[in-house]
Amino acid sequence: MVKYGLEAAIISDPVCIRYLTGTWNMQVFIARNPHTRYLLLTATRSIIFEFAGCLHLAQGYETVDEVRTAKSVKSMSSGPKIHDKERADVAIALKELSLNIVDAQQAIEMARTIKLPAEVKCVDASLRATEVAVGKPRDAIAPSLTENQL
């Protein structure tokens, strides 16, 4: 973040949240509804805003300093003017804090490319397991053999 001049990042991508903190919760749902779980990350703190009733899923991780309930902006709680509410709330809050919004995706993706020795071992083990899993059916394939027979 420092390299990219970012003082803070709000991350809603569930894969990035899992990578950065080790926590996970309803990843498919969260990918479609990012306002229900997000991570506020600074150089010194990480705060997960968790889906209501799920705070316990992010507690106890050394990578998470604090867990709070996410303030959701969705049609069930905002009604038909959800987009107006969503944009207005964010714009007002940012203006009050004199914050400038930029896309942090590049900084996050570059951080994900840095691997610890233990991560390299995991990647290597995963590749070896995949090679075995792909190799067994490949070696067994023969003319006129059906998928069920394989």
> pLDDT for 15-45, tens place per residue?
889 988 999 888 887 777 766 788 888 889 9
pLDDT score recorded for residue 100: 75
Which of 40, 37, 14 has the alpha carbon at shortest distance from 27? 14
The pLDDT tens digits of the residues spanning 39-58 come to 888 889 999 999 888 899 99
Check: CB of residue 59 under 8 Å from CB of residue 67.
yes
State the pTM of this model.
Answer: 0.67
Check: CB of residue 62 under 8 Å from CB of residue 25.
no
Q: Answer whether residue 75 shows pLDDT above 60.
A: no
The pLDDT tens digits of the residues spanning 80-128 come to 555 555 556 666 777 788 877 778 888 888 988 989 999 999 999 999 9
State mean pLDDT over 133-145.
92
Q: Answer whether residue 78 shows pLDDT above 70.
A: no
